[in-house]
Amino acid sequence: MSLIPPPGSIIAADWHRCADSKEYFSKILRKMRRKNFGLLESPVMPPHVAVDTVHYKIFISGKSGVGKTTLAARLAGLNIPNMHYETTGIETTVVYWPVKLRESGRVLFFRLQLWDCGENALRRFDHLLPSCKEQVDAVLFLFSFTDRMSFDDLSNQIAKWTGPSVGRVVKLVVGTKFDLFMHCDVAERDVRNFQETWSLPVLRTGGEVSDGLGDVAPILNCLAENLWHQDCVTAGSAGHHTQQETGTLF
Ligand SMILES: Nc1nc2c(ncn2[C@@H]2O[C@H](COP(=O)(O)OP(=O)(O)OP(=O)(O)O)[C@@H](O)[C@H]2O)c(=O)[nH]1
Ligand SMILES: [Mg+2]
């Protein structure tokens, strides 16, 4: 994949704060909380507002207890588990996120299907990883700020998803438990060095869920931006993306 786009260069950052985004974000909210979408549900816009939806499959990777299930719940606006219940197989969660493209002003709904598989189940059952990898568009590599080993193992994890056999996959790193700064085991300097070495976006998460938009916007916007950029590169026309050029429009 070509160089990662500078944050906010392709899609409008913090668009959820702008007045013109309200009619779109209201479709993913109900009573000030995020709406939950089943596999067959989608946001419904009035007929005069035509919005295309782009579909992507996202795999969440990381060792047991790092916070994969918690992140999936957070991104979807669902209740966050207080306890660690090991995920015993694959769980998928659908997230809709409206995005405004900077250049054209066009609005799109990103439909992100998050694939969360318990790390121990993944080790125990060989058939799970191939299902997770099949036609995947992006991987979120998780480490925990309270677990140095999970950070040190990132390079190994990423290396497994790099090379000619893997194809184009957006890679993002997410540091969880950033709120537990008293127990922090990973220094900012280490994160900066890692970022320079790998040239990958590193995002942070943790703490209370606010309005269901502000705390997840940096991760979802970064993911959407990199997915869109990857599609543009694949279509061979970065910056001149049209509806027909991507195979993922529905
Ligand atoms: N304070 C805090 N706790 C977190 C955060 N993320 C996860 N946790 C807690 O860490 C524990 C494990 O989180 P899970 O999301 O269940 O871990 P997992 O990666 O899905 O683990 P497996 O399913 O076993 O692979 C839970 O008790 C969560 O509440 C965070 O950002 N901050
Ligand atoms: Mg889990």
pLDDT one-digit tens code per residue, 59-76 = 999 999 999 999 999 999
Whether the pLDDT of residue 79 is over 50: the answer is yes
The pLDDT score that the predictor gives to residue 209 is 76
Non-local CB neighbours of 96 within 8 Å, separated by 6+ positions? 27, 28, 37, 42, 43, 53, 109, 110, 111, 112
For residue 118, the CA-to-ligand 2 centroid distance in Å is 5
Query: What's the token pair of residue 163?
Result: 């090379």
In-domain check, residue 103: yes
Distance 86 CA to ligand 2 centre (A): 5
Ligand 1 centroid from CA 69, angstroms: 7
Give per-residue pLDDT as tens, 199-245: 999 999 998 877 779 999 999 999 999 999 999 998 885 455 444 44
In a domain, 186, yes or no: yes
Q: How far apart are alpha carbons 69 and 78 in whole angstroms?
A: 11
CA angle (122 as vertex; 160, 177 as ends), nearest 5: 80
CATH number of the domain to which 228 belongs: 3.40.50.300
The response to whether residue 87 sits with its C-beta less than 6 Å from ligand 1 reads: yes
Mean pLDDT of 135-152: 97
Q: The whole model's pTM is what?
A: 0.92
**246 within some domain:** no
Q: What is the mean pLDDT of residues 5-15?
A: 93
The range of the structural domain enclosing residue 189 comes to: 15-30+48-235
Distance between Cα 84 and ligand 2 center (Å):
7
**The total number of structural domains that make up the chain:** 1
Task: Answer yes or no: is 52 within a domain.
Answer: yes
Query: Is position 112 within any domain?
Result: yes
Measured from the alpha carbon of residue 80, the closest ligand is 1
Residue among 70, 115, 157, 186 whose CB has most ligand 1 atoms within 8 A, to mutate = 70
Residue nearest to atom 32 of ligand 1 (CA): 177
Q: Are 204 and 172 in contact (CB under 8 A)?
A: no
User: What is the per-residue pLDDT for 2?
Assistant: 56
The answer to whether the CB of 81 is under 6 A from ligand 1 is yes
Average pLDDT over residues 33-48: 90
Nearest 5°: the CA angle 111, 63, 121 is: 80
Query: How confident is the model at residue 160, as a pLDDT?
Result: 87
Rounded Cα–Cα distance for residues 216 and 117 (Å): 21
Q: CA–CA distance from 28 to each of 13, 120, 206 (Å)?
A: 18, 33, 22
Whether 77 maps to a domain, the answer reads: yes
Distance CA 79, CA 242 (A): 37
Q: Is 117 a domain residue?
A: yes
Neighbours of ion ligand 2 (CB under 5 A): 68-69, 87, 118
Q: Is 10 a domain residue?
A: no
